[in-house]
A and B are shown apart, each in its own frame.
Chain A
C-alpha cells in the first residue's frame, strides 16, 4: 500500500542521487587534469580561464549529452518492451535509429558537415522523421502490432542497405572513416549546440512515453482488456511510437548509434519495480543515463592515442551482460 508508493519514490530518489554523483564524477574526467574548484569559481565569476573553458565548453556538454542520450535510450527501450510486451524489443526496432543514422551518413557522404554545426543533427532528425512516416505508410490502418514490428525491421533494413551503399562509394578513405566512426556512436567533442538541438525533441518524446505509463500497465492483460479498461489503444500506440521516434531520433542525430543501453537497462530495472511497466519507464531512464555516463568515463580513461567509441564499449559490456541476465531471469519470464 503506502509502503510500495514510498518504495517507488525511494528508488527514483536513490537513482537521481546516483545520477548526480556520476555527473559530478564525470566532470572530473578528461584528457587534461584541471582543478575543478578553480574552474567552478572562474565560471561563477564569469572569468574566462582555461579551466572554466574546459569545464563549461567541453566537459559539461559532453556529460549532459551522455546523460540525455542514456536516459532516452533507457526510457525508449522500456516503453517499446512494454508496448510490444516483448523483452527483446529495443529502440532501434522501429527503424528510427537507422533512419537518423542514414540522414547523418548522407551529410558525411556529400561532405556537408562542415557547412554549419546544425547540418548534421538536423539531417539525423529528418532521417528519423522520414523513417516514422514510412512506417506509418507501411502499417496503414492495420492495428496489428506484428505488422508494426515487421515495418520497423523493413525500414531498418532499407536504412542499413543505404548506409552500406554510402560506405561502398565513399569518396575517400577519410570520408569512410568519418562515417564509420560516427556510426559507432560517441558524445566526444560536442557542444551546447548539440544539446540545445536535441533537448526539445527528447523532452517531447519523454513526455509522450511517460504519458503512456498507465496504458502500458493495462497492456499487461492484452490489447482487448486495455481497450475495455478505457484506453484508446490505436491512439496511445501512436503517441508512444512518436515519442520513441522523437527522442531516439534526436539521440542518434547527435550521438550516433549506441546499442544495448535500450535493450539491457529495462531488464536490469524490471525486478526493482516489480515488473510494472509504468514504473519501469522513469527508473530505466535514470539507469540509462547513469550507465552511459559510466561508459563515457570508461571511454575517456581507456583511450590512449585514438579514442574508443562509446557505442563500442556499451556493446562490449552490454552483450555479455545481456547474456547473463537472460540466463538468470529466464525462469521469471515464463
Chain B
C-alpha cells in the first residue's frame, strides 16, 4: 500500500481544467519530484495531495484512507505542506514560527509543554537554525527563512513532506542544503514530494519523477526514463544536453525550439 496516492484526479478552477486524470503514488522511503513547465499543474497537484484543496473527481489516499475522510487534525499530523515562498506576516521569532508546527497536537486553550519544546529544538537542530532561534524571521535571508519553514514542518514530525519549489531563489549552498534535508527525511517509513524547476537537482536527489504538461501526466518513472532529451524537448520546448553520471544526471538547456507552442 502506498503511503500517499492519487488515482484519476480531475481538478478545475472556474471551470478551467487544471489537472486531468492524474495518477500518482508515493512509497515509504521515496523522494519524488514533480517537474514540468510553468502552469503545468504541479502546485495544484501538491495542494490536492496536501488536502488544502479537494479534487473534483478521483481519490487521494493517505495510508489507504481517503484524505477528505480523515479529520483535519489527523491529516495535519500526517502531511506537512511547505507553500511556495512561505513567509511570516508578523515579526515572529524563529522559535515561535517553528512552534506553529506543534499546533496539530495542541488543544485550543493549551500552551506548549515540555514535549513540544523538545520537538521544536530538535527540528531547529535538524535544519541548523538553532543558532538564530531568537531572531525575527522576517529579518533573515531567503535561504535561512526556507530552512526555518522546513523546521516548522519537522516540528510536526509528519511522515510525508510536500514542498512547493523550496529551492527557488536560493543560492547553490542553500539549494543543496534543503535538498539534503529532504533526502534525509525520505527514509524508512517517511517520504517527500518536491516541486522543482532545476532538472539537475531533480535528477540528483529524486528517486522518481512525474513530468506534468498542461495538467496531464506526460511521463513518470526513474530519472533516466523521464529526463530524456526527447521528453524535455516535447514538454518544455527547449533543446538540451542531458548527461548521465554517477550523481544522477545533469541537464543543460541549450536553446528554445522555435516551432514549439506551449
Q: Which of A213-246 contact B (CB under 8 A)?
A: 213-214, 217-222, 224-225, 227-232
Contact flag A214-B52 (CB < 8 Å), given A5-B111, A230-B72: no
Bitwise, B30-73 to A at CB < 8 A (1) or not (0) is 00000000000000000100111000000000000000000111
Residue of chain A at shortest CB distance from B110: A214
List residues of chain B with CB within 8 A of the CB of A227.
Answer: 51-52
Measured between alpha carbons, how far is A229 from B86 in the docked complex, in Å? Answer: 14
Contact call B50/A220, Cβ cutoff below 8 A: no
Bitwise, A293-334 to B at CB < 8 A (1) or not (0) is 000000000000000000000000000000000000000111
Measured between alpha carbons, how far is A231 from B103 in the docked complex, in Å? Answer: 10
Binds A, one of B90-98, B169-177, B227-235, B251-259: B90-98
Q: Does A1 contact B (CB under 8 A)?
A: yes
Bitwise, A182-212 to B at CB < 8 A (1) or not (0) is 0000000000000000000000000000010
Out of B72, B100, B103, which one reaches A232, CB within 8 Å? B72
Measured between alpha carbons, how far is A277 from B90 in the docked complex, in Å? Answer: 9
Q: Does B79 contact A (CB under 8 A)?
A: yes
Q: How far is the CB of A324 from chain B (nearest CB, A)?
A: 19
List residues of chain A with CB within 8 A of the CB of B75.
Answer: 230
Out of B77, B93, B103, B149, which one reaches A274, CB within 8 Å? B93
List residues of chain A with CB within 8 A of the CB of B114.
Answer: 1
Q: Which range holds the interface residue count of chain A?
A: 20 to 34
Residue of chain A at shortest CB distance from B152: A221
List residues of chain B with CB within 8 A of the CB of A85.
Answer: 89-90
Contact call A221/B100, Cβ cutoff below 8 A: yes
Out of A5, A211, A217, A275, which one reaches B100, CB within 8 Å? A217
Measured between alpha carbons, how far is A334 from B117 in the docked complex, in Å? Answer: 28
Q: Which of A62-120 contact B (CB under 8 A)?
A: 85
Contact call B72/A231, Cβ cutoff below 8 A: yes
Residue of chain A at shortest CB distance from B162: A228
Contact call B76/A214, Cβ cutoff below 8 A: no
Contact call A222/B72, Cβ cutoff below 8 A: no
Q: Does B184 contact A (CB under 8 A)?
A: no
Q: Does B241 contact A (CB under 8 A)?
A: no
List residues of chain B with CB within 8 A of the CB of A224.
Answer: 47, 52, 81, 83
Contact call B96/A276, Cβ cutoff below 8 A: yes
Contact call A1/B117, Cβ cutoff below 8 A: yes
Out of B51, B89, B108, which one reaches A211, CB within 8 Å? B108
Q: Which of A123-169 contact B (CB under 8 A)?
A: none
Contact call A214/B88, Cβ cutoff below 8 A: no
Q: Does B138 contact A (CB under 8 A)?
A: yes
List residues of chain A with CB within 8 A of the CB of B87.
Answer: 221-222
Contact call A214/B103, Cβ cutoff below 8 A: yes
Contact call B108/A229, Cβ cutoff below 8 A: no
Q: How far is the CB of B149 from chain A (nearest CB, A)?
A: 8
Q: Does B248 contact A (CB under 8 A)?
A: no
List residues of chain B with CB within 8 A of the CB of A8.
Answer: 111
Out of B47, B83, B88, B106, which one reaches A220, CB within 8 Å? B88
List residues of chain A with CB within 8 A of the CB of B83.
Answer: 221-222, 224-225, 228
Q: Does B80 contact A (CB under 8 A)?
A: yes
Q: How far is the CB of B172 from chain A (nearest CB, A)?
A: 26
Q: How far is the CB of A197 from chain B (nearest CB, A)?
A: 29
Residue of chain A at shortest CB distance from B158: A228
Measured between alpha carbons, how far is A334 from B47 in the docked complex, in Å? Answer: 28
Q: How far is the CB of B77 from chain A (nearest CB, A)?
A: 8
List residues of chain B with CB within 8 A of the CB of A5.
Answer: 111
Measured between alpha carbons, how far is A276 from B137 in the docked complex, in Å? Answer: 13
Q: How far is the CB of A314 from chain B (nearest CB, A)?
A: 25
Residue of chain A at shortest CB distance from B108: A214
Out of A211, A218, A228, A332, which one reaches B81, CB within 8 Å? A228
Closest 10 CB pairs of A and B: A230-B76, A228-B81, A230-B72, A85-B89, A275-B90, A230-B73, A227-B52, A5-B111, A229-B103, A230-B104
Q: What are 26 pairs between A and B in contact, CB < 8 Å?
A: A85-B89, A85-B90, A214-B103, A218-B100, A218-B103, A220-B90, A220-B92, A220-B97, A221-B149, A222-B87, A224-B47, A224-B83, A225-B81, A227-B52, A228-B50, A228-B51, A228-B80, A228-B81, A229-B104, A229-B156, A230-B71, A230-B73, A230-B76, A274-B92, A274-B96, A333-B91
Known pairs A8-B111, A224-B83, A274-B93 / 18 extra A-B pairs, C-beta < 8 Å: A220-B88, A221-B83, A221-B100, A222-B86, A222-B87, A224-B47, A224-B81, A227-B51, A228-B50, A228-B51, A229-B100, A230-B71, A230-B72, A230-B76, A274-B92, A275-B92, A333-B91, A334-B138
